[in-house]
Amino acid sequence: MRVLIFGASTNPDRYAYKALELLVEKGHEVFLKGNKAGVALGLTIQVGINDFDHIHTVTLYVGPQNQQDLLEDLSIIKPERIIFNPGTENPKLYAEINKLNIEVEEACTLVLLHTDQF
């Protein structure tokens, strides 16, 4: 599955990085978007969203205070679903995201992966 980590980090202590490790381990094709360019596990963290085609799932690791461009980005990426991880929940956006025909899921990507529910 093609997965975009939105809020990717080069810091191994961050949950986004832990999700990256587990997604790669489970065989998913992972793409990274962050506020800063960098490299994590050999993958480039993109600042823009130009190179993200045919993404199935976006897993979100940015809090509501940093989601101002999220709707616009999702309308360009057009994933099938977005996972709002703990601390990223933003119920004000859910109806707007659903209008884009994107499934909204409040869940923990790490838990979903560990329990084979991803």
Tokens 């360009």 belong to residue = 76
User: Domain locations in the chain?
Assistant: 2-114
Q: Do 66 and 87 touch, CB atoms closer than 8 A?
A: no
> Considering the domain 2-114 in this protein, what is its CATH number?
3.40.50.720
Closest CA relative to residue 4, chosen from 69, 81, 72, 99: 81
Residues in the chain: 118
- Dihedrals phi, psi of 31, to nearest 5 degrees: -125, 150
Rounded to 10 degrees, the C-alpha dihedral 24/28/33/34 comes to -30
Point out which residues pair with 46 in neighbouring strands: 33
- Supply the pTM of this predicted model: 0.95
User: What does each of the 118 residues of the chain score in pLDDT, given as a tens digit?
Assistant: 999 999 999 999 999 999 999 999 999 999 999 999 999 999 999 998 877 889 999 999 999 999 999 999 999 999 999 999 999 999 999 999 999 999 999 999 999 999 999 9
